[in-house]
Amino acid sequence: MHELMIDLDDSLRKPLYRQIYDYIRSHIADGKISCGEKLPSTRLLAAHLQISRSTVSLAYEQLLSEGYLEARRGSGYYASDISELYVGGRTPKKPLRKAKWDGQRLDSACGVEQKYRIVFSPEENDFSQFPYAAWRKLSRELLAVDDPTLFQAGEAAGELTLREAICTYLYHARGVNCTPDQLIIGAGNEYLLMLLMQILGGKRKVAMENPTYRNAYGTLAQMGCDMVLTGMDANGMKTEEIKRHDPDIVYTMPSHQFPTGIVMPLKRRLELLSWAMERPGRYIIEDDYDSEFRYKGKPIPSLQGNDAHGTVIYIGTFSKSISPSIRVSYMALPDALLRAYHANCGFYASTVPKEQQNILAAFLKQGYFERHLNKMRRIYKAKHDLFLSLLKKESWVQKIYGDYAGMHLLVEVKTQKSAARIVDQAKANGVRAYDLEEYRIFGTKRREGAPTLLLGYGALEEDAMREGISILRRVVREENDN
């Protein structure tokens, strides 16, 4: 039986079961616990660690479900033959993923990325420039009066004042054509998608781009949708593939596809719109998650603004433009779906606290948001320009794309190594970079071509960029047998 020398740390934010799980998993992955070796029973290990048995069981069950352990009836737990896991075409780290879509968002939600010194995350923003003073002032003003109405149940679709402010912003900044009545405010895109699927009713077939924003895929799959994936060319989603799959709904990010950065030109947009009009009940979900951040040329107006027939459902968020922690997204519904919303989902109370909605409405109406956005656009543009110029000097960088928008770049690497290997070796050196393939829906065919890294720069300062790049350079050049 293998003796486990686990050093539990109560002070860590990581739960105990997770510490046990991590210890055993890494020891099996490293071969320190070898295939077929018996592990202590949950009872023994719990007694040894002086913790509850259910904590140990939780860790063991997760290891079982991921294939690291095997249970033999009446005998106990044994380390599995993990070499088989690799043969199956999965990368060693892939089985750790509990489900198809628990990618980097889950990591960052759990704070797992905190262990790296430099994180090229596409999800992390720069909050050092947030107008704390303005937010404080608005919050103080809102709470200054003992106002009981602030604590009464609010409007189901969100406070009218906030919906008005968002409408005005969307009209001017994104060419979105809607009234405050058409807007539903909710606690994040995923919640709005849950609501939308209830509004649409019944099982729907949804086509998405691949690679894509995996949380949206996960939400729609969880809500029982029949998911299909379409390839992209330089103009985005391939319409002929959509037609072949014959979905009810297309989910797309036309202004800045995540993670590829592809911008859908007008012609392709019109093709999409005419596909939607061909049959009643077809809809396009336009996820316009970060189009505020374009650094070259004119901003690209929304697809919704081109839609004359009520086929586009527009979804936007303040996660990028303000912060993911404020949990505010919005959705503009076409008339037919608005009626269905009132008929089927009107009883749901808003998921955003009234206090938060009122502060945000004031933040928009009093011009703070606009100023903040312009300031952040300048800051991110400067970071973008610097990061791009640093990368262009690197001889191992073959091609850069997805530039001039958002907060990450895609970097094709001149190497014999796989991107996954580069990512692993960078991790071992304290740097978290991302393989573009991490954003591909699990189990679908890998893209051909050069290994491609996804490198986010939104939260990084110059020093960190330089250091991160130099570590990547070393890793790319190192011999494979390192």
Q: Which of residues 351-380 bind a second copy (CB under 8 A)?
A: 351-356
| Binding track, positions 198-237, relative to a second copy; x by CB under 8 A | x---------------xx--xx--xxx-------------
Residues contacting 119, CB < 8 A, separation 6+: 113, 431, 432, 456, 459
User: What are the tokens at 99?
Assistant: 């489900």
Q: Distance between CA atoms of 168 and 415, rounded to whole angstroms?
A: 49
- For a second copy, the closer of residues 300 and 364 by Cβ is 364
Q: Distance between CA atoms of 281 and 258, rounded to whole angstroms?
A: 26
User: What are the tokens at 319?
Assistant: 């996660």
Q: Which candidate, 88, 165, 79, places its Cα nearest to that of 360? A: 165
Task: Report residue 102: phi and psi, to 5°.
Answer: -95, 55
Q: Which of residues 244-303 bind a second copy (CB under 8 A)?
A: none
Q: How far is CA 252 from the centre of its chain?
A: 14
Select from 82-90, 348-356, 410-418, 444-452 the region that touches a second copy (CB under 8 A). Answer: 348-356
Does 430 bind a second copy (CB under 8 A)? Our answer is no
- For a second copy, the closer of residues 119 and 476 by Cβ is 119
Does 461 bind a second copy (CB under 8 A)? Our answer is no
Q: Which of residues 298-337 bind a second copy (CB under 8 A)?
A: 322-328, 335-336
Select from 123-131, 254-262, 363-371, 439-447 the region that touches a second copy (CB under 8 A). Answer: 123-131
Q: Distance between CA atoms of 305 and 314, rounded to whole angstroms?
A: 10
Q: Closest distance between a second copy and the C-beta of residue 450, in Å?
A: 29
Beta strands in 51-188 (DSSP E): 69-72, 76-79, 118-119, 183-186
Pairing between β-strand 38-39 and β-strand 118-119 as defined by DSSP bridges? unpaired
| Binding track, positions 382-411, relative to a second copy; x by CB under 8 A | ------------------------------
- For a second copy, the closer of residues 156 and 420 by Cβ is 156
Q: Distance between CA atoms of 245 and 453, rounded to whole angstroms?
A: 30
Q: Is residue 246 within 8 Å of 205, Cβ to Cβ? A: yes
Q: Closest distance between a second copy and the C-beta of residue 216, in Å?
A: 10
Q: Which of residues 125-184 bind a second copy (CB under 8 A)?
A: 125, 127-128, 130, 132, 135-136, 139-140, 143-144, 146, 148, 150-156, 160, 181
Q: Is residue 237 within 8 Å of 258, Cβ to Cβ? A: no
- For a second copy, the closer of residues 105 and 243 by Cβ is 105
Does 17 bind a second copy (CB under 8 A)? Our answer is yes
Amino acid at position 355, single letter: E
Q: Closest distance between a second copy and the C-beta of residue 248, in Å?
A: 15
**Residue environment code for 172-204, b if the CB has 16+ CB neighbours within 10 A, otherwise e:** ebbebbbebebbbbbbbbbbbbbbbbebbeeeb
- For a second copy, the closer of residues 383 and 421 by Cβ is 383
Q: Which candidate, 301, 282, 256, 276, places its Cα nearest to that of 405? A: 256
Beta strands in 260-395 (DSSP E): 283-287, 312-317, 329-332
* Residue located via tokens 């998608």: 193
Question: Site for a second copy (CB under 8 A): which residue of 71, 83, 92, 98?
Answer: 98
- CA distances (Å), origin 399, targets 70, 212, 237, 303: 44, 21, 22, 29
Question: Site for a second copy (CB under 8 A): which residue of 12, 15, 265, 375?
Answer: 15
Q: Closest distance between a second copy and the C-beta of residue 97, in Å?
A: 8
Q: Closest distance between a second copy and the C-beta of residue 38, in Å?
A: 22
- Look at residue 410 and give its three-state secondary structure: strand
- For a second copy, the closer of residues 5 and 153 by Cβ is 153
Q: Closest distance between a second copy and the C-beta of residue 448, in Å?
A: 28
- For a second copy, the closer of residues 97 and 245 by Cβ is 97
Q: Closest distance between a second copy and the C-beta of residue 10, in Å?
A: 13
Pairing between β-strand 76-79 and β-strand 69-72 as defined by DSSP bridges? antiparallel
Sign of the torsion formed by the C-alpha atoms of 300, 305, 309 and 315: positive
Q: Closest distance between a second copy and the C-beta of residue 482, in Å?
A: 32
Select from 100-108, 232-240, 406-414, 417-425 the region that touches a second copy (CB under 8 A). Answer: 100-108
- For a second copy, the closer of residues 37 and 155 by Cβ is 155
Question: Site for a second copy (CB under 8 A): which residue of 190, 271, 287, 437?
Answer: 190
- For a second copy, the closer of residues 149 and 395 by Cβ is 149
Select from 162-170, 191-199, 265-273, 470-478 the region that touches a second copy (CB under 8 A). Answer: 191-199
User: What are the tokens at 230?
Assistant: 């379409």
Pairing between β-strand 283-287 and β-strand 249-252 as defined by DSSP bridges? parallel
Question: Site for a second copy (CB under 8 A): which residue of 77, 120, 191, 314?
Answer: 191
Q: Closest distance between a second copy and the C-beta of residue 418, in Å?
A: 25
Does 54 bind a second copy (CB under 8 A)? Our answer is yes
Beta strands in 263-417 (DSSP E): 283-287, 312-317, 329-332, 397-401, 408-413
